[in-house]
Every structure is written in structure tokens, then in C-alpha cells.
Amino acid sequence: MGRELSVVGGGVVGLACALAATDAGWSVTVYDAGPSTRAADVAGGMLGCLGEGHPGEDRLLDVSSQSASLWPDFLARLGDPAVRTATDSVLIGASSTDLAYLDDQVAFVRDRLPAAALTRSTASELRRAEPALGRGLVGGYLAEGEGAVDNRLLIEALTEALREGGAQIVEAVVDDPTALPGEHVLIAAGLGSAALAAVAGAPVPVHGEKGEILRLRRTRWSVPPPSHVIRGRRHGRPVYLVPRADGVVVGATQYEAQGPDDRAPQAVGVADLLTDAIAVMPGLSSYELVEVAAGIRPCSADGLPVVQRIDDRVLVATGHGRNGIALAPWTASRAMGLLA
Ligand SMILES: Cc1cc2nc3c(=O)[nH]c(=O)nc-3n(C[C@H](O)[C@H](O)[C@H](O)COP(=O)(O)OP(=O)(O)OC[C@H]3O[C@@H](n4cnc5c(N)ncnc54)[C@H](O)[C@@H]3O)c2cc1C
């Protein structure tokens, strides 16, 4: 008899763990409440490590860099080249203060990862690499090997790979994870994980950080989307443009969610994102604004993903905050280590 695993949550974390278990010969069933609260459906899809390094987040940078090294095999396993939408990033500051902030970030990353492929560049050097960049930006860095995926294609590809591998995906809201069948149960329900872990007997604090995000589509009259992920900093605010086949995803604001249902985009967040995105890439002004959304990132108390045992039978993988997509392969590998 093969070993049986129940996974609660069909977001990027649950699906990535489920696929690793299926590949290791487990018989897997994923129970998922559906996409309406799924952060992975809203996300930008940046595989951030170098561009996400912030002083004080040493351990997160280590984990992110380990996960970055697992992405090539993870993508190869999924087999759909359309999932990856960019391979490199540019980090750009709109003013000397914004650039000084980036310099501090990069100094921190280089201190922990001396081989990091980050090259300080003038604005014109960056514009040669990425002609879409606007004038009036002061300079930044080229981050080679730091790309992005299409989050929705990623979920589709994971679902497809699981079905092909014989896993079951069941649409259901789980109230009591301990009542599910199987030798082990993995709670990977994003923001919902805290309540489920409490039912399973262990508090796992997870709080929500909300973010607005926009989807813009190229028209016949507009310039092509960028080929790099563009991470800009303008007036002290971060803004990023993540390439898609037909346009860009513009993200993202970040602030404490008022509750699990606080998913309506706020006007001020949308206004800031549009203003900053068009300053960074003026050609976006003729793109169509096709989607305005907000999602809630499931965050742990210390900013690190929580991937641990609750007891002999139940495990939890949650709290990935702003990096759940980037950290999916690391999480799957760690969960498999715990199951083994
Ligand atoms: C605006 C925004 C931009 C982001 N950009 C990026 C980015 O560029 N790069 C990056 O790496 N990360 C990004 N993130 C973060 C990333 O989306 C999350 O960290 C990641 O989606 C968390 O994955 P998860 O599987 O834990 O949770 P989710 O994706 O939220 O999935 C949880 C799943 O569990 C299900 N569920 C919940 N409760 C139950 C229950 N009781 N029973 C059954 N099923 C249940 C839900 O229906 C859902 O499908 C972004 C997030 C936001 C909001």
C-alpha cells in the first residue's frame, strides 16, 4: 500500500507540496475551497530573492536564495514554457533618495550572497537593457537570473501535473483537518491555516496583509510589454511591473488587512500604482486597464514561512507573506523532508 496524504488548500503552497508528494509516490488528495480567497490568483508572480532582500531579513534571504536555486527544476517538472514570463529584473530608483535605498538593499544582499548577480547601472545603461523605462529615473541595478512566472498559468500547470500524476483535487471547505483520511494531513490553506491549525490543537498565528494589484493589457497602438521585471522605487514607494504575454501586472500596495473579507481595492492604492507605473514606463498610459484586484497575503509573526509539524500526523505550511510563489519549491522540499 502507498502512503496517503491529505492536503488542505489548493493555492501555490498546497499544490507544490502535493506535487512533490505525488512524485515521491504518495497517494494525494487536495481539498480546496476555491479561488475566491486565493492569494496566488492575485499575485504578481515575481521570483524575488535579490530584489526582495531587506536589511534585517537575513534568514528570509537565505530561504529565498535556496528556493531560487530550486526553480529551474521546478519549472522543468511543470514542462510549460509559458509559465515563466521573465528571466531578469531591473531595480530602478526615481530619485537619488530612492537609489540610496536600493544601494542599502543591495549592500545587505551582497553581504549575505557575495556572488549575487547585481550590477550597478546608470539609467541609460538600464534603458539599453529595457527600452520601456521612462526618462527622469536616476539609476539602479540589473539583477540577472531573477525573473517571474505567470501566477495563474502556474496554478493551472500544477493542477494539470497533479491530475496527470494521479492526485485527486476535491472542491470542499474543510472545518476539521484531523477528520481527513490518510497517514498524514498537511494544512496549507494560506490565511485559513490559523483556524485549521487551532482545530488540530496548535496555534499558528497568521495575519493578513492586503495588497492592491492591477492588470494592464497592451493595445495595437502601445509599445510592447517590458522583457524584464521592473522593480521601481518612487517617492519612497515600491512599484513593480511584471511582464505577461499580453501586458503587465502592476503591483502592489501592502498594509494590514481589516479582516479576512477586506478584499475590495481602495482608490488611493490604485491611484498610486497607476501614477508610479506610468512614471517608470510611460508607454503604459495607452494600455487597457483590464483588472483591479486586492488580495491578502498570509503572513507569519516573524516574516518567515512556517513549515512544521503540529503533531505526529498533522503538518502545516503557511505564512509565506509577500513571497509564497517564490518560496513554493523550497516549501515543497521542506515539507517532503518532514514527511520523510
Ligand atoms: C497583491 C499580491 C501580490 C503578490 N505578489 C507576489 C509575488 O510577486 N511573488 C510571490 O512570491 N508572492 C506574491 N504574493 C504572495 C503570494 O500570493 C502568497 O504568499 C501565496 O499565494 C500564499 O500561498 P498559499 O498557498 O499559502 O495561500 P493561497 O494562495 O491564499 O491559497 C490558499 C488556498 O487554501 C484554500 N483554503 C483556505 N481555507 C480553506 C479551508 N478551510 N478548506 C479548504 N480550502 C481552504 C483557499 O481556497 C486557497 O485556494 C502576492 C500576494 C498579493 C496579495
| Residue to mutate, 7, 12, 256, ligand 1, most ligand atoms under 8 Å from C-beta | 12
Q: Which residues of 76-91 are buried (b: 16+ CB within 10 A; e: fewer)?
A: eebeeeebbbbebbbb
pLDDT digits (tens, 9 = 90+) for 2-18: 699 999 999 999 999 99
Nearest C-alpha to atom 26 of ligand 1 is from which residue?
Answer: 190
Going by C-beta distance under 8 Å and a sequence separation of 6 or more, which residues neighbour residue 25? 2, 3
Q: Residue 207 and residue 213: Cα distance in Å, rounded?
A: 19
Hey, what's the cell of 217? 493589457
Please identify every stretch of the chain with a pLDDT value under 50, giving residue numbers as ranges.
1
Residue 153 makes CB contacts below 8 A (sequence gap 6+) with 80, 82, 83
Going from the Cα of 63 to the center of ligand 1, the distance in angstroms, rounded, reads 18
pLDDT attached to residue 136: 86
Q: Which architecture does CATH list for 4-339?
A: 3-Layer(bba) Sandwich (3.50)
Tell if the pTM clears 0.95, that is, is over it.
yes
Ligand 1, atom 16, residue with closest C-alpha? 324
Select from 37, 176, 249, 307 the residue to mutate for testing ligand 1; criterion: most ligand atoms less than 8 Å from CB. Answer: 37
Nearest atom (ligand 1) to Cα of 196 = 41
Q: pLDDT tens digits for 289-318?
A: 999 999 999 999 999 999 999 999 999 999
Domains of the chain, by residue range, sit at: 4-339
